[in-house]
Amino acid sequence: MNITKPAIDICNLRKAYSAEVVAVRDVSLQIQRGTLVALLGPSGCGKSTTLRLIAGLETPDAGEIWLEDECVAGPRSWVPPEARRVGMVFQDYALFPHLTTYKNVAFPLSGKGNRMHQRHVQAMLDMVGMATLGERYPHQLSGGQQQRVALARALVAQPAVVLLDEPFSNLDAALRKSMRTEVREILRAAGTTTIFVTHDQEEAFSIADLVVVMFDGQVMQHGRPQDIYVQPATREVASFVGETNFLPGYAQETSVECVLGRLPLAVPTHGPVDILVRPEMLLLQPDPQGAGRVEQVTFFGHDQLLQLRLNNGLHLHARTLMRLDLSPGVPVQIGVQGPVIAYPYVNRNGLHQYEASNIETRR
Amino acid sequence: MHIAIPLSLRLRVQRSPLVLSVAALLVTLLAALPLGYMLLRTWNVTPGVWGRLWHGQIPGLLENTIWLVITTIGFTLIIGVVAAWLVERTDLPGRSIWRWLLALPLAIPAYVAAICWIILLRRGGLVEAAAINMFDLPRGQLPLPRIYNLTGATLVIGLSVFPYVYLPVAASLRSLDRTLEEAARISGHGPWQTFRRITLPLIAPAAAAGALLVSLYVLSDFGTVAMLRYRTFTVAIFQQFTGQIDRSGASILSFVLIGLTLPLLIGEAWASQRMRRTTRAAAWRPVQIVRLRLFGRWLACAAIAMLVLLSSGIPLLVLGGLSVQGIFFPTRVDQIWGINSQGLWQTGLGSLIVAAAAATLATLLSFAPALLATRYPGRLSGLLLGVSKSAFALPGIIAGLALVLLFNRWVPFIYGTIMMMIIGFALRLLPQAVATNEAALRRVGPSLEQAARVMGCRPVTVFRRVTLPIAAPGIAASWALIFITGMKELPMAIMLRPPGFDTLSVRIWAAASESVHTQAAPAAFVLIVLTLLTLLLLMGRSQVGLDRVLHEHN
């Protein structure tokens, strides 16, 4: 009887905008109190709709949503958004243009007739580092400042759940990185259960405790960021969360035979497979007798991306530190670091072993 | 030698605004001339005249005028905001049709609407005649609503100018960011609280801007209040000048009226600035539509239909009916088409000539300040632009009075000619021309002109070969809009027309002032048809909706 109830419990949620457009097919999720969750997926995968369903901005066609032991949406119950005790940061922040920063943050408290909230609002502004800018109007704030205000407004009423819809997409690249860590620290300090939506895997990995990958209205995988990256459940998830090389191979229990030799398998399996090799798993060594040669080098600074062509015609992508000075044409020997993941072979065009175009890369 | 070339280039860039600045300054002075002259005249009036008027007419006029402004603002705000909300935020049937039918009143001058209501509701009017025919009532027994009072003036003017409120409020409701309302819901506010604390404040600047335009209109309106015999400042100024030939008195009354206009003008500038501040350039979702229940749907539909019927349906039906009757029943031609020897078509031609010539002159003059402000932004150019634009608020009756006095005193050789009428109209239309042409010129990106300069074109050549061709559609639209204003202009036409020369608006006025209102119908009908034709032509050209065209026009 000591099991803690999840802060958010979603069962078989479904939302269709029309017969053809099904935004959320069948989503079930349980999120423990205090967790920071990222809903990750390509645009149109239903992640934003899921968030809006939790907020009460959309009504589900089927399924239930429970927030802290209360069924807020289900076949027989409906709680309007204003009664759900959630906070939300919108993609464009949705700060009220006719209210000052202070009044924007105080807004969620004002409906409750609480006259003692002045200090609380000020404390919130302190927490997000906006204490001195309370009298400014939203249009007088920079993008990062607007986001801080939006965050303070979402947290001020001490909601059970905070929802963030693509919170960093309106910031420029440099600001985005610094705001990520800052927002994470603020949310940790507040200790709330948080769900944020993003299509940027780097953002999801660097902030969240738990990543939920969605494709086509369904949850494909959820787990720690490390697990998602190292052991993606499907080829699609693998491609979405990082750069990939897929190589044909034949699995025999704990190892797999492929063009790069016999490699250990992370999960035992058997039969024809496609194995996933991340570019940074490839170890290169200049060697006149090597199995391939460098075709193209893209230099990034701290590392470089190499396009390799194996002697049998297969292309591979490798990411190495810049210390290794390789120029196009150099023959290299190729090794693999660590165990690999195998996916059941899907017959696409009859070829399997050593087919030439079997590479998928995503940056 | 190395820096000689860039230096000379810089000099050339500086020289052209100097020519332009002088031109802009002259045009601005011209636009401000009527106002300046009236103020100057007031300065020279003996204090005795001041005292006589201050203790005589002015208190009553102030009371009448201010009451009319207040009631009309209240009336237009209510129907404008409610209509905008119903059309933009509910699932009212036929929304796309209502959207432009509700803008239609702008094509019907308020004084024409007033005539229609008089034709219908006066003793011996159409309603009473119909009642006598149908129910065999004795003459004078039917209780008719009284329209020659504050209520009548408020309703007639309000129904005619409510689009000033409706259009900006509808636009601001359409562009409202849906997430703001969602954010308020998330923050614990119910639908009604959200409307009161978020939606209403967000549309308030648009409503305020519309209300200010309404009040400026009410202050400047002459024809409607004169026909409904409601004495405001404009009516008193006209009577003082034409009836009693008391120029000092008319000047003083004008001065007080200008004093009433000034704070509204400042308020208008403030409101438009505020509107700019609250516009957001973010990715927005279309606003949520409120689903009305069956009964509510029909009620809302009936209310909007009633508004359209009262504001544009009845005037068009009355005028159209009387005009058709005049054409097909020749026995009544004398009565309907007037006893004046000059035919209606000649009158129409007179209107066309004056309005077209004045619109062209005003457009040409307006280039100087508009070009200076859009191409060489600065404090001076902004000031010139602001002054030349804001002269639009000067009531036509005062502008007409000032010009009559000016022409009579300084250029008597064109006094009483069509030239005087055209120049006067051009000065009257100038502020509007500056505003619309500025918008047209702003659409030409400065980088295009800079590219032409770099390719070796002189500024005049750039204007001729780059700016003008690109801005041409906008300039044509602007010309058409001020042309329509010229066609409708009443007080100035009455004051400046040469003897024996008629325009449509003068003909309407003459019929109304002789209490033979039915005779005004054909001229009014032709006026509205010409206005609508010009607008339709404009719509086909510029691919924008009627509501946009009509709104920019005002």
Q: In this structure, are residues A75 and B179 in contact, taking their beta carbons and an 8 Å threshold?
A: no
- How distant, in Å, are the alpha carbons of B352, B525, B526 from that of B505? 11, 11, 10
Structure tokens at A271: 């039969």
Q: Does position B542 have pLDDT exceeding 70, yes or no?
A: no
Residues of chain B contacting A167 with CB distance shorter than 8 Å: none
Strands A303-310, A315-321: pairing kind: antiparallel
Q: What percent of chain B has pLDDT over 90?
A: 33
CB contact (8 A) between residue A94 and residue B278: no
Interface contact flag, A92 B186, Cβ < 8 Å = no
Tens of pLDDT, residues B75-88: 999 999 999 999 99
Q: Could B185 and A108 be called an inter-chain contact, meaning their C-beta atoms sit closer than 8 Å?
A: no
Q: What is the ipTM, given to two decimal places?
A: 0.74
CA distance to partner chain B, nearest, from residue A331 (Å)? 51
CA distance A190 to A121: 14
Please give the Cα distance from B544 to B452 (Å, whole number): 30
Kindly report the nearest CA distance between residue A188 and chain B, in angstroms. 21
Residue B355 CA to residue A41 CA, distance in Å, equals 62
Cβ-count burial of A132 within 10 angstroms (0-12 exposed, 13-18 middle, 19+ buried)?
exposed
| Contact: A97, B283; criterion CB under 8 Å | no
More confident residue, B390 or B70: B70
List, for residues B361-376, the tens digit of each pLDDT value.
Answer: 999 999 999 988 887 8
Q: In this structure, are strands A161-165 and A193-198 parallel, antiparallel, or unpaired?
A: parallel
CB contacts of B282 in chain A (<8 Å) are 92
The per-residue pLDDT for B65 is 96
- How many pairs of residues across A and B have Cβ atoms under 8 Å apart? 72
Smallest CA–CA separation between A123 and chain B, in Å? Answer: 18
Site of tokens 């032509």? B537
Q: How far apart are CA A92 and CA B179, in angstroms?
A: 8
A286: left (phi over 0), alpha (psi -120 to 50) or beta: beta
Nearest residue in B to A158, CA atom: B187
Rounded to a whole number, what is the distance in Å from the CA of B287 to chain A's nearest CA? 13
Mean per-residue pLDDT, B57-71: 95
Q: Are A159 and A192 in contact (CB under 8 A)?
A: yes
* Contact state of B182 with A98 under an 8 Å Cβ cutoff: no
Say if residue B272's pLDDT is above 70. Answer: no
Q: Where in chain B is the domain with CATH 1.10.3720.10?
A: 17-34+330-554, 57-291
Question: Which of A53, A78, A98, A158 to probe the B interface (max B CBs under 10 A)?
Answer: A98
Q: Kindly determine whether residue B187 and residue A111, on different chains, have CB atoms separated by under 8 Å.
A: yes
- A258 DSSP assignment: E
B353: confidence class by pLDDT, cuts 50, 70, 90: very high
Q: Which of A326-340, B218-232, B255-269 has the highest mean pLDDT?
A: B218-232
Tell me whether residues A83 and B277 touch, CB distance under 8 A.
no
Contact between B72 and B154 (Cβ < 8 Å): yes
Is A108 close to B180, i.e. CB distance below 8 A?
no
Residue A139: closest C-alpha in chain B = B277
Percent of chain B with pLDDT over 70: 88
Contacts of residue B322, defined as CB under 8 A and 6 or more positions apart, other chains included, come to B119, B336, B518, B521, B522, B525
Q: Do A56 and B179 touch (CB under 8 A)?
A: no
List CB contacts (< 8 A) between A153 and chain B. Answer: 183, 187
**Identity of the residue in A108, A139, A154 whose CB atom sits nearest the CB atom of B277:** A139
- CATH C-level class of B17-34+330-554: mainly alpha
A12: alpha, beta or left? (left if phi > 0; alpha if psi -120 to 50): left
Contact by Cβ (8 Å): B434, B388: yes
Q: Among A57, A82, A97, select the one facing B280 at the smallest CB separation.
A: A97
User: What is the C-alpha separation between B292 and B297, in angstroms, rounded?
Assistant: 5
Q: What is the CA radius of gyration of chain B?
A: 25
Give how far the C-alpha of residue A256 lies from the chain's centroid of Cα atoms, to the nearest Å: 30
Confidence of residue B279 (pLDDT cuts 50, 70, 90): very low
Which distant-in-sequence residues (6+ apart) come within 8 Å of B423 by Cβ? Answer: B358, B361, B414
Residues from chain B that touch A157, judged by Cβ atoms under 8 A, are 187-188
Q: Which tops the pLDDT comparison, B265 or A235?
A: A235
Q: How far is B162 from chain A (nearest CA, A)?
A: 25
pLDDT per residue as tens digits for the range B424-469:
999 999 998 998 888 888 877 777 777 777 776 777 787 888 888 8
Which residues on chain A are in Cβ contact (under 8 Å) with B280? 92, 97
Residue B113 CB-density burial (10 A; 0-12 exposed, 13-18 middle, 19+ buried): buried
Average pLDDT over residues B132-145: 80
- How is residue A156 written in tokens? 């001020």
**Under 8 Å between Cβ of B77 and B207:** yes
CA distance B199 to chain A (A): 10
In three-state secondary structure terms, A191 is coil
Q: Which helix (H) or strand (E) holds A64?
A: strand A62-67
Quickly count helices (H) and strands (E) in chain A: 8, 18
Residues A140 and A150: their CA atoms lie apart, in Å, by 14
Whose structure tokens read 């206009």? B261
Residue B339 has what pLDDT?
45
Nearest chain A Cα to B274, which residue? A98
Whether A80 and B185 lie within 8 Å, measured CB to CB: yes
Mean pLDDT of B56-81: 95
Asked if A94 lies within 8 A of B183 by C-beta distance, the reply is: yes
Contact A81 B201 (CB under 8 A): no
The beta-carbon neighbor of B188 closest among A55, A82, A91 is A82
Q: Are A17 and A3 in contact (CB under 8 A)?
A: no
**Interface touch B186/A91, C-beta < 8 Å:** no
Smallest Cβ–Cβ distance between B189 and the set A55, A111, A153 belongs to A111
Cα nearest neighbour of A112 on chain B: B188
Please give the model's pTM, rounded to 2 decimal places.
0.79
List of chain A residues whose C-beta atoms are within 8 Å of the C-beta of residue B189? 82, 111
pLDDT for B307 equals 97
In DSSP notation, A281-320 reads GEEEEE-TT-SEEEEEEEE-SSEEEEEEEETTS-EEEEEE
Task: CATH number for B57-291: choose from 3.40.50.360, 3.40.50.300, 1.10.3720.10, 1.10.357.20.
Answer: 1.10.3720.10
Q: Which helix (H) or strand (E) holds A272?
A: strand A261-277
How far apart, in Å, are the Cα atoms of A361 and each of A41, A256, A286, A358, B84?
17, 21, 24, 10, 52
Would you call A139 and B198 a contact, using CB atoms and an 8 Å cutoff?
no
Interface residues on A facing B, Cβ-Cβ cutoff 8 A: 55-57, 80-84, 86-88, 90-92, 94, 96-98, 107-108, 111-112, 137, 139, 153-154, 157
In angstroms, what separates the C-alpha of B187 from chain A's closest C-alpha? 4
Quick one: pLDDT at residue B10?
39
Arithmetic mean of pLDDT, B131-145: 81
Q: Identify residues of B whose CB sits under 8 angstroms from chain A CBs.
A: 177, 179-180, 182-190, 193, 198, 201-202, 204, 277-278, 280, 282-284
List CB contacts (< 8 A) between A91 and chain B.
Answer: 179, 283
Closest by Cβ to B179, choosing from A86, A92, A137 = A92
Residue ranges of chain A with per-residue pLDDT less than 50:
1-2, 352-363
- Average pLDDT for B522-531: 88
Residue of B nearest to A94 (CA): B180
Higher pLDDT, A122 or B13: A122
pLDDT band at B214 (very low <50, low <70, confident <90, very high): very high
Determine the Cα–Cα distance for residues B185 and A81; give it in Å rounded to an integer.
6
Tokens coding B26: 């002259």
